[in-house]
Amino acid sequence: DTEVTQTPKHLVMGMTNKKSLKCEQHMGHRAMYWYKQKAKKPPELMFVYSYEKLSINESVPSRFSPECPNSSLLNLHLHALQPEDSALYLCASRAGAYNSPLHFGNGTRLTVT
Amino acid sequence: AQRVTQPEKLLSVFKGAPVELKCNYSYSGSPELFWYVQYSRQRLQLLLRHISRESIKGFTADLNKGETSFHLKKPFAQEEDSAMYYCALRGGSEKLVFGKGTKLTVNP
């Protein structure tokens, strides 16, 4: 399995809802990432987990809460989001070797109403 | 600080013409540089990385440390090359930073 799988593909949620995005990889990669991508913009880094520990948080608001239950899974818990949080949320993983690339999932298209 | 600059937001060429997508970076150490491509309605995927020095889909990119550049080139563009291209840099940590991207359109 050489893919990063993200579920759901689409999500519509109200500002008072709680939802979660899920990401899974079975490539044995030890670093996992959450990026946010707005339309016609580059991906913006949100969080990085390295060996299941949070290593980078790019000053993301607390309404986004990441979780790494094990080395294959990455979740992003969402609560009290704003309409401006609507975006494509991308998960990626990476092996640890020098110059190893990120492998991206297809993303979850999130709409906050 | 890490910074990637892609000066062209849009680039349009005719089929069979050479194409060059520019990428300049700012980083004080030894960077890891990548080109990613995003075709319409497809996932972001790796095209090239500087360490491999290979040609993928006819594209090549050379790291020029003196000019702090990592330009992407292809001698003869094809219509299927039309996509969004991102240059990305990682410098000494897990953080991968993307440039703003160049949308390449190859006209028939």
* pLDDT value for A88: 96
Average pLDDT, chain A: 94
* pLDDT value for B92: 81
Residue B70 has pLDDT above 80, yes or no: yes
Q: B98, A102: Cβ pair inside 8 Å? A: no
Whether a cis peptide bond, with omega within 30° of 0, leads into A8 is yes
| Chain B residues near residue A45 by CB distance under 8 angstroms | 95-97
Question: Per-residue pLDDT tens for B20-62?
Answer: 999 999 998 888 999 999 998 889 999 999 887 788 899 999 8
Question: Per-residue pLDDT tens for A38-88?
Answer: 998 999 999 999 999 999 999 999 999 999 999 999 999 999 999 999 999
Average pLDDT, chain B: 93
Question: Using CB atoms within 10 A of its CB, is residue A42 exposed (0-12), middle (13-18) or buried (19+)?
Answer: buried
Instruction: Please state the separation of Cα A99 from the chain's center in Å.
Output: 21
| Chain A residues near residue B83 by CB distance under 8 angstroms | none
Residue A28 has pLDDT above 80, yes or no: yes
Residue A36 has pLDDT above 90, yes or no: yes
| Chain B residues near residue A42 by CB distance under 8 angstroms | 86, 98-101
Instruction: Please state the separation of Cα A23 from the chain's center in Å.
Output: 7
Q: Which residue has the higher pLDDT, A110 or A100?
A: A110
Residue A108: CB partners within 8 Å, gap ≥ 6? A6, A7, A8, A9, A10, A11, A21, A88, A89
Interface test with B, best of A54, A91, A102, A106 (most B CBs within 10 A): A102
Give the span between the Cα atoms of A108 and A97, in whole angstroms: 27
Q: For residue A45, give the nearest of B49, B86, B95 by CB distance.
A: B95
Contact A107/B at CB under 8 A: yes
Question: Per-residue pLDDT tens for B47-57?
Answer: 999 887 788 89
Is B60 within 8 Å of B42 (Cβ atoms)?
no
What value does the mean pLDDT take over residues A14-30? Answer: 94
* pLDDT value for B10: 97
* pLDDT value for B29: 86
B28's tokens: 């004080």
Is A20 within 8 Å of A81 (Cβ atoms)?
no
Q: B95, A107: Cβ pair inside 8 Å? A: no
Give the span between the Cα atoms of A93 and A89, in whole angstroms: 14
C-alpha dist (Å) from residue A109 to A36, A90, A105, B103:
10, 9, 12, 21
* pLDDT value for B52: 78
* pLDDT value for A46: 97
* pLDDT value for A1: 63
Give the span between the Cα atoms of B98 and A45, in whole angstroms: 9
Q: Say how many CB pairs under 8 Å bridge A and B.
A: 44
* pLDDT value for A102: 93
